[in-house]
Amino acid sequence: MIMFEKLNLPKEGELISFNNGIAQVPNYPIVPFIRGDGTGVDIWPATQKVIDAAILKGYGKDKKINWFKVYAGDEACEVYGTYNYLPKDTIDAIKHFGVAIKGPLTTPVGGGIRSLNVALRQIFDLYSCVRPCRYYSGTPSPHKKPEDLDIIVYRENTEDIYMGIEWEANDPNCVELINFLNNSLIPKSEKLKNKLISESAGIGIKPISKKGSQRHIKKAIEHAKRLTGDKRHVTLVHKGNIMKYTEGAFRDWGYELAINEFRNDCITERESWILENIEKNNQITIENNAKLIEPGFEKLTTSKQKFICEEIKEVILSISETHGSNNWKKMILVDDRIADSIFQQIQTRPQEYSIIATLNLNGDYISDAAAAIVGGLGMAPGANIGDNAAIFEATHGTAPKHAGLNRINPGSLILSGVMMLEYFGWNKAANLITRGISKAIEDKKVTYDLARLMEPKVNALSCSDFADAIISYF
Ligand code: NAP
């Protein structure tokens, strides 16, 4: 029996367990929640009310969440003492019960923790940050057709420049590192030989590993397997044209995974292009039709032509068994895009994308840009998922100036609750909430942040009234 210093364990409820990274959810799970700082006092009660009402409506007494209050952030310091932003009780509770949901947390100004959110991700190895961005009809948006965007950003959570391995300019360790690179490592490389890092530079390290990339991309592909039609599509987003051994490697490892581990489920963009051309009767033969390969190809040498045609033959032979009889049309398309182009593409051709699997920094930018298209951060949910735990969270901060005023938009945390219900497989309840939010927004029953953008202007609902409006559409 697990014991806590200051927590009151619910009297009833069951444990969520994990099997090969998949959560096994009983009908009456215990779920720890962190209310959150600042506007957490407003949005958490609203969220809990909506989730409970949806489960009751969807499943009657057959399912129920037994909420377990745990502490982090300022609230934890009040209960556990100064600088105790993330008490052992909270860590033990999430470790034991596996799935938690949290409101926003103040970034501590002392106590040795850089960010509570980052700490939670690291402690539980929550390596994929998942951020869906879809449009709810009626939400004010700067775009003409925001409804065309319906994507899920998978942002790698544990590697990249975000690991925070960096040295400040002129710090003696930084100077030592630069000297070592300039005088020893760089001259050894034929490619880097003439490059020199300025002595006054700051340095950050960007580690990207095969293991870290593939376990993350695997989660994205597994998600795509649960989707239908054109949405069975994973785009690897990277800046591999410039950062070849980090971002470029991420792309290569992604394709390798898709081909080696998901051969029966995935088709790469190149393979799909070849099959499409065959279907259109553009017979690709070994000897001719080289122009089909790519524009400008005809200028290449004969030996190159042969090589590429042989490659096509190889591709066809390698997939004929798994992808034949039109099977390929139902498969998950895995392609890749350069990071800067995806910012254009989600605006100009949003309907062509579904799951964006990317590295940490790219994912940070892309998810915020996508959230802006569909109505801003107030409506953007998030989840951090690993193999043994998952934490669902609002993506915005504590918005202290609105705290306790019952006016802030609880949409982000409520939608994080929807993600959690989907993760449980409790789709009936998740769909009720999604529909409730859509209807409330369509009927212009919204909080101040959306109300002020609507034309003509509408009167804003309070945070709790917005929650009640959502429930009224169940
Ligand atoms: P913020 O709390 O996200 O607030 C910035 C502005 O965003 C707010 O003033 C508000 O704009 C809008 N906003 C935030 N939440 C909203 C919601 N639920 N509905 C509608 N609009 C919302 O960012 P911050 O002021 O930079 O950060 C405050 C604290 O939060 C800091 O300690 C920061 O470190 C922390 N933080 C925590 C997390 C997290 O826990 N995940 C994330 C980011 C920041 P208007 O006033 O214009 O309406």
* Reported confidence tier of residue 115, pLDDT bands at 50, 70, 90: confident
Highest-confidence segment of 98-102, 284-288, 295-299: 98-102
Mutate which of 33, 121, 384, 398 for ligand 1 pocket (most atoms within 8 A of beta carbon): 398
Average pLDDT over residues 162-173: 91
The rounded Cα 388 to chain-centroid distance in angstroms is 17
pLDDT at 291: 43
- The set of residues, in sequence order, having a beta carbon less than 8 Å from that of 157 and lying 6+ positions away, is 121, 126, 127, 128, 129, 216, 360, 384
Average pLDDT over residues 75-101: 95
Ligand 1 within 6 A of CB of 453? no
Q: Between β-strands 128-134 and 381-385, what pairing exists: parallel, antiparallel or unpaired?
A: antiparallel
Q: Is the pLDDT of residue 419 over 70?
A: yes
Tell me which H or E stretch contains 311.
helix 302-323
**Atom nearest to 399 CA in ligand 1:** 2
In this structure, which residue's CA is closest to atom 8 in ligand 1? 399
pLDDT at 95: 95
Higher-confidence position of 304 and 266 = 266
Average pLDDT over residues 245-255: 97
**Atom nearest to 401 CA in ligand 1:** 9
pLDDT at 382: 94
Ligand 1 within 6 A of CB of 409? yes
Ligand 1 within 6 A of CB of 121? no
In this structure, which residue's CA is closest to atom 36 in ligand 1? 397
Mean pLDDT across the chain: 90
Stated pTM of the model = 0.88
Strand (E) positions, 83-207?
99-102, 128-134, 150-156, 166-167, 203-204
Catalytic site residue from 62, 171, 230, 340 = 340
Highest-confidence segment of 364-368, 376-380, 414-418: 414-418
Residues of the chain above pLDDT 90, percent: 73
336 is catalytic: no
**Atom nearest to 106 CA in ligand 1:** 32
- The set of residues, in sequence order, having a beta carbon less than 8 Å from that of 91 and lying 6+ positions away, is 123
148 is catalytic: no
Higher-confidence position of 290 and 384 = 384
162 is catalytic: yes
Lowest mean pLDDT among 174-178, 192-196, 297-301: 297-301
DSSP 221: H
Q: Is the pLDDT of residue 408 over 90?
A: yes
Burial call 22-38: b when 16+ CB within 10 Å, e when fewer = ebebeeebbbbbbbbbb
Catalytic site residue from 364, 368, 465, 468 = 364
Catalytic site residue from 63, 102, 219, 239 = 239
85 is catalytic: no
pLDDT at 468: 98
**Atom nearest to 73 CA in ligand 1:** 40
pLDDT at 111: 55
Ligand 1 within 6 A of CB of 439? no
Residues of the chain above pLDDT 70, percent: 91
pLDDT at 309: 59
Residue 445 Cα to ligand 1 middle (Å): 22
Per-residue pLDDT tens digits for 16-62: 999 988 899 999 999 999 999 999 999 999 999 999 999 999 999 99
Average pLDDT over residues 390-410: 94
In this structure, which residue's CA is closest to atom 31 in ligand 1? 106
Q: Is the pLDDT of residue 310 over 90?
A: no
